[in-house]
Amino acid sequence: MAVIHHTTLTPTKVELLGAWLPSRPWYGGTGSAPRLARAGGFRLDDPEGEVGIEFLVVIDGPGDAAPAYLTPLTYRATPLDGGRAGLIGTLEHGVLGKRWVYDGAHDPVLVGQLLALLAGRVAAQAQGESDTPDPTVEVRTVDADLPAGLTEVTETTGATVLAAPGAPVTLSLTRVLRPGPAAGRDVRGQVLAPWSAPDGAAPRGAFAVLRDSAR
């Protein structure tokens, strides 16, 4: 069970993301600095109790058309071996000290727990409370042979796709969120959750999608 500490972070998560997001191929900004605000998300527990796992949503800008970005994050007390490509930065946690913050698509602990969520073996947890399931997160899974790990990471204009040689499915992390579930005959499962829009609405969309691998 992850323990949520209500403490200071230096820099904040939003500040870290503001420096990192413009480097992503799915970021839609036009040259000006991001104006990010937190807009929801959920957590998963690391069964070993070592890695913090958070699916954080941020919106960029104050207008009703401001895009919502999904940023799956992991927080570690030491650097992730071989994880340099996914490193977002470091921050100082008021209780836990220095933490290395990673794009979760590159962290096998997050990927493994997300697959466990899709398989119904774990439950999504509330973003800001310890040991509290989040009932707003919905998992829809069609019978699928879930792989043990997905290590090939490909960035597209709207998603990060994880795959592995011979795996029957791919796992897409939706980066630019849209209301509504994922559709298509190749969809084998998805995680749906809400976020907060600038106009006060609470749209729901697919945070992660399992699809048949291309044959």
> pLDDT of 98-152, one tens digit each?
999 999 999 999 999 999 999 999 999 999 888 899 999 999 987 667 887 788 9
Per-residue pLDDT at 163 exceeds 80:
yes
17 within a domain of the structure (yes/no): yes
Residue found under tokens 């990927």: 111
Question: What confidence category does residue 4 fall into, taking pLDDT thresholds of 50, 70 and 90?
Answer: low
What total number of domains does the chain contain? Answer: 1
| Mean pLDDT score across all residues of the chain | 90
Please tell me the predicted confidence (pLDDT) of residue 36: 94
Per-residue pLDDT at 158 exceeds 80:
yes
4 within a domain of the structure (yes/no): no
1 within a domain of the structure (yes/no): no
User: Which has more confidence, 174 or 198?
Assistant: 174
Question: What confidence category does residue 10 fall into, taking pLDDT thresholds of 50, 70 and 90?
Answer: confident
122 within a domain of the structure (yes/no): yes
Please tell me the predicted confidence (pLDDT) of residue 178: 95
Please tell me the predicted confidence (pLDDT) of residue 214: 76
Task: Answer whether 104's CB lies under 8 Å from 160's CB.
Answer: no
Please tell me the predicted confidence (pLDDT) of residue 5: 60
Per-residue pLDDT at 60 exceeds 70:
yes
Please tell me the predicted confidence (pLDDT) of residue 1: 58
Q: Which residue, 11, 61, 13, is CA-closest to 36? A: 61
Burial string for 1-18 (b: 16+ CB within 10 Å, else e) reads ebebeeeebeeebbebbb
3 within a domain of the structure (yes/no): no
2 within a domain of the structure (yes/no): no
Rounded Cα distance between 166 and 172, Å, is: 17
118 within a domain of the structure (yes/no): yes
Tell me which residue range forms the domain holding 122: 9-212
**Of the listed ranges 54-58, 149-153, 177-181, 207-211, the one predicted with least confidence:** 149-153
Q: What is the mean pLDDT of residues 64-82?
A: 93
3-class SS at 81? coil
Rounded Cα distance between 210 and 187, Å, is: 6
Can you give the pTM of this predicted structure? 0.93
Question: What confidence category does residue 2 fall into, taking pLDDT thresholds of 50, 70 and 90?
Answer: low
87 within a domain of the structure (yes/no): yes
